[in-house]
Structure 1
Amino acid sequence: MTVPDSGRRPPQTEASADGAVNETLEDYTLRFAPRSYRRWTPMVVATTALGGIAYMADFSIGAGIGLAHGTANALTAILVAAVVIFVTGFPIAYYAARYNIDLDLITRGSGFGYYGSVLTSVIFASFTFIFFALEGSIMAQGLKLGLGLPLWLGYVVSTCMVIPLVIYGMKALSKLQVWTTPLWLLLMVGPLLYLVSTDPGTVHTFLSYTGSHGGSGIDAASVLLGAGVCLSLIAQIGEQVDYLRFMPPKTEQNRRTWWTAVVLAGPGWVVLGALKQAIGVFLAVYILAKAGPASATEPIHQFTGAFAAMMPTWLVIPLAVVLVVISQIKINVTNAYSGSLAWTNSFTRVTKHYPGRLVFVLANLTCALLLMEGDMFSFLNNILGFYANCAIAWIVTVATDIMVNKYLLKLSPQAPEFRRGMLYAVNPVGVVSFVAASGLSIALYFHALGDALQPYSPVAAALIAFVLTPVLAVLTKGRFYLRRTTDGIDAPLLDAQGNPSSATYACHVCRQEFERPDLAACPSHDGVVCSLCLSTDRTGAHVLPAAPA
Structure 2
Amino acid sequence: MSVEPQLTEATEPRPGPGQAPRTDQAVRETLEDYTLRFAPRGYRRWSPMVVATTALGGIAYMADFSIGAGIGLTHGTGNALLAIAVAAVVIFVTGFPLAYYGARYNIDLDLITRGSGFGYYGSVLTSVIFASFTFIFFALEGSIMAQGLEYGLGMPLWLGYLVSTVMVIPLVIYGMKALSRLQVWTTPVWLLLMVAPLVYLIATDPGSVDRFLAHAGTDGDGGVDTASVLLGAGVCLSLIAQIGEQIDYLRFMPPKTEANKRAWWTAVVMAGPGWVVLGALKQAIGVFLAVYILAEVGPARATEPIQQFRSALDAMLPSWTVVPLALALVVISQIKINVTNAYSGSLAWTNSFTRVTGTYPGRLVFVLVNLGFALALMEADMFSFLNSLLGFYSNCAIAWVVTVATDIGVNKYLLHLSPHAPEFRRGMLHAVNPVGVVSFVAASGLSIAMYFHLLGDAMQPYSPVAAAVIAFVLTPVMAVATKGRYYLRRTDDGIAEPLLDPEGNPSAVTLECHVCGERYERPDMTACQAHAAFVCSLCLSTDKTGVHVLPPSPAPA
TM-score of Structure 1 vs Structure 2, range by shorter chain: over 0.9
Contact 1:14 1:354 in 2 (8 A): no
Q: CA deviation at 1:312?
A: 1.0
Render the CA deviation track for 1:443-481: whole Å, top value 9, x for unaligned.
000000000000000000000000000000000000000
1:318 to 321, 324, 336: 324
Partner of residue 361, structure 1: 367
| Cα distance in 1 for residues equivalent to 2:505 and 2:327 | 44
Partner of residue 383, structure 2: 377
Partner of residue 64, structure 1: 70
Partner of residue 480, structure 2: 474
Partner of residue 99, structure 1: 105
Partner of residue 7, structure 2: none
Partner of residue 303, structure 2: 297
* Equivalent residue letter for 1:93: A
CA gap of 1:340–1:112, structure 2 versus 1, over 3 A, is same
Q: CA deviation at 1:348?
A: 0.1
Counterpart check, 1:148 vs 2:157 = no
CA gap of 1:313–1:19, structure 2 versus 1, over 3 A, is farther
2:289 to 280, 283, 288: 283
* Equivalent residue letter for 1:481: Y
Counterpart check, 1:244 vs 2:253 = no
| Cα distance in 2 for residues equivalent to 1:519 and 1:8 | 21
1:461-540 → structure 2 map (5 Å cutoff): 461-540=467-546
Partner of residue 48, structure 1: 54
Q: Secondary structure at the match of 1:55?
A: coil
Partner of residue 182, structure 2: 176
Contact 2:119 2:433 in 1 (8 A): yes
| Cα distance in 1 for residues equivalent to 2:403 and 2:18 | 34
Partner of residue 8, structure 2: none
Partner of residue 216, structure 2: 210
Q: CA deviation at 1:59?
A: 0.2
Partner of residue 165, structure 1: 171
Contact 2:526 2:534 in 1 (8 A): yes
| Cα distance in 2 for residues equivalent to 1:359 and 1:95 | 29
Q: CA deviation at 1:216?
A: 2.6
| Cα distance in 2 for residues equivalent to 1:150 and 1:13 | 49
| Cα distance in 2 for residues equivalent to 1:408 and 1:141 | 49
CA gap of 1:254–1:13, structure 2 versus 1, over 3 A, is closer
Counterpart check, 1:235 vs 2:235 = no
* Equivalent residue letter for 1:390: C
Q: TM-score, normalised by structure 2?
A: 0.96
Partner of residue 266, structure 2: 260
* Equivalent residue letter for 1:23: T
Contact 2:26 2:360 in 1 (8 A): no
1:430 to 436, 458, 468: 436
Q: Secondary structure at the match of 2:417?
A: coil
Contact 2:16 2:28 in 1 (8 A): no
Q: CA deviation at 1:314?
A: 1.0
| Cα distance in 2 for residues equivalent to 1:233 and 1:10 | 39
| Cα distance in 1 for residues equivalent to 2:492 and 2:148 | 55
Contact 1:24 1:168 in 2 (8 A): no
* Equivalent residue letter for 1:22: E
| Cα distance in 1 for residues equivalent to 2:240 and 2:91 | 6
1:419 to 425, 430, 452: 425
Q: Secondary structure at the match of 1:22?
A: helix
Can you give the 5+ residue segments of structure 1 that lack an aligned partner in the other structure?
A: none
Q: CA deviation at 1:213?
A: 1.2
Alignment size in residue pairs: 544
RMSD: 1.5
1:84 to 90, 101, 114: 90
| Cα distance in 2 for residues equivalent to 1:486 and 1:20 | 26
Partner of residue 341, structure 1: 347
| Cα distance in 1 for residues equivalent to 2:416 and 2:136 | 37
* Equivalent residue letter for 2:423: E
Contact 1:98 1:249 in 2 (8 A): yes
Counterpart check, 1:6 vs 2:12 = no
CA gap of 1:10–1:528, structure 2 versus 1, over 3 A, is farther
Partner of residue 457, structure 1: 463
Partner of residue 201, structure 1: 207
Q: TM-score, normalised by structure 1?
A: 0.97
* Equivalent residue letter for 2:462: Y
Contact 1:52 1:334 in 2 (8 A): yes
Partner of residue 352, structure 1: 358
| Cα distance in 2 for residues equivalent to 1:536 and 1:10 | 23
Contact 1:45 1:246 in 2 (8 A): yes
Partner of residue 219, structure 1: 225
Q: Which moved more, 1:538-547 or 1:3-12?
A: 3-12
* Equivalent residue letter for 1:449: L
Partner of residue 29, structure 2: 22
Q: Secondary structure at the match of 1:505?
A: strand
Q: CA deviation at 1:24?
A: 3.8
Render the CA deviation track for 1:482-522: whole Å, top value 9, x for unaligned.
00011000010000000000001111111111100000011
Contact 1:20 1:355 in 2 (8 A): no
Q: CA deviation at 1:22?
A: 3.3
Partner of residue 399, structure 2: 393
Contact 2:22 2:517 in 1 (8 A): no
Contact 1:91 1:402 in 2 (8 A): yes
* Equivalent residue letter for 1:260: T
Q: CA deviation at 1:215?
A: 1.0
Q: Secondary structure at the match of 1:248?
A: coil
* Equivalent residue letter for 1:56: M
Render the CA deviation track for 1:113-138: whole Å, top value 9, x for unaligned.
00000000001001000000000000
* Equivalent residue letter for 1:462: A
Q: CA deviation at 1:9?
A: 9.8
Render the CA deviation track for 1:299-345: whole Å, top value 9, x for unaligned.
00011111111111111111100000000000000000000000000
Can you give the 5+ residue segments of structure 2 that lack an aligned partner in the other structure?
A: 1-11
Render the CA deviation track for 1:268-292: whole Å, top value 9, x for unaligned.
0000000000000000000101110
Q: Secondary structure at the match of 1:449?
A: coil
Partner of residue 4, structure 2: none
Contact 2:231 2:462 in 1 (8 A): yes
